[in-house]
């Protein structure tokens, strides 16, 4: 309704100029002076959507097969977004797809013949395909909802991150994250250190480092870590 209205929008009765209520049905007429806030028609509130720094959050890379612990091992899949690192737990007893793929990776590590060594093999592997890609079709906040023990680390809260690659005789790289008040350390099971570094370096810049440790495991040490294949 505007100040130039001629008929009541409720009952259709003619309206005299300047009146504020219909003389027939009593319906309130829009104030002919819209600058008067006391009688101005109410407007519905405009919904607001919380803004995410850097735009909508999306997964820009996934690194499978991270572990913590020795006797009681926790298995993780790492998802990288511009805002955070999401380490989602998975259970090898119930997740047959991931567990089966993990066993295939171990078997590859034990039977490599076509390349110089297993490290060369896994560093050349395409980690952008596999059952872990299922997370790309899931809402990000729903990923950890059904995975107790998952860890979320905001990118701005990372003070330092280090990747140690154990070359020559071990596919176990190490990934350490310093949040200032907390430290996290994970095993990257299949020489995925360089792959992870390529994902994180654009986000962390000088806060992340990568080093080839040149540690040569053999004998019982290799057997205990699952790397005895000769």
- Let me know if residue 53 belongs to a domain: no
For 53-106, write each residue's pLDDT tens digit: 446 789 999 999 999 988 889 999 999 999 999 999 999 999 999 999 999 988
81-94: b (≥16 Cβ within 10 Å) or e: bbbbbbbbbbeeee
Quick one: pLDDT at residue 156?
A: 95
Tell me which H or E stretch contains 223: helix 219-224
| Domain span holding position 168 | 61-224
Phi and psi, residue 154, nearest 5°: -65, 135
- Let me know if residue 90 belongs to a domain: yes
- Let me know if residue 72 belongs to a domain: yes
Q: How many CB atoms lie within 10 A of CB 144?
A: 17
In the predicted model, residues of the chain with pLDDT beneath 70 are 1-6, 10, 19-21, 23-55, 112-116, 167-169, 214-230
Cβ within 8 Å of residue 85, ≥6 positions away: 78, 79, 151, 152, 153, 155, 158, 177
Tell me the CATH number at 97.
Answer: 2.30.29.30
CA trace torsion 161, 166, 167, 171 (10° rounding): -100
Q: Are residues 17 and 70 in the same domain?
A: no
Q: Are residues 37 and 85 in the same domain?
A: no
Q: Are residues 117 and 182 in the same domain?
A: yes
- Let me know if residue 204 belongs to a domain: yes
In angstroms, the CA 24 to CA 65 distance is 77
Q: Are residues 14 and 86 in the same domain?
A: no
Domain count for the chain: 2
């Amino acid at each position: 309704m505007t100040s130039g209205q001629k008929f009541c929008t409720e009952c259709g009765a003619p309206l005299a100029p300047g009146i504020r209520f219909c003389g027939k049905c009593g319906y309130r007429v829009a104030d002919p002076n819209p600058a008067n806030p006391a009688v101005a028609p109410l407007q519905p509130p405009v919904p607001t959507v919380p803004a995410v720094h850097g735009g909508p959050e999306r997964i820009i890379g996934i690194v499978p097969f991270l572990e913590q612990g020795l006797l009681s091992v926790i298995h993780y899949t790492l998802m990288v977004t511009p805002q955070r690192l999401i380490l989602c737990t998975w259970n090898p007893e119930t997740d047959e797809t991931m567990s089966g793929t993990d066993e295939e990776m171990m078997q590859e590590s034990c039977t490599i013949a076509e390349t110089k060594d297993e490290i060369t093999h896994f560093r050349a592997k395409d980690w952008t395909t596999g059952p872990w890609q299922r997370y790309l079709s899931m809402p990000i906040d729903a990923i950890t909802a059904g995975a107790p023990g998952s860890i979320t680390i905001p990118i701005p809260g990372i003070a330092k991150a280090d990747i140690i690659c154990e070359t020559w005789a071990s596919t176990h790289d190490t990934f350490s994250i310093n949040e200032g008040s907390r430290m996290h350390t994970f095993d990257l099971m299949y020489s995925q250190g360089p792959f992870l570094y390529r994902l994180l370096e654009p986000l962390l810049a000088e806060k992340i480092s990568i080093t080839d440790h040149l540690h040569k495991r053999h004998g019982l040490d290799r057997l205990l870590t699952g790397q005895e294949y000769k």
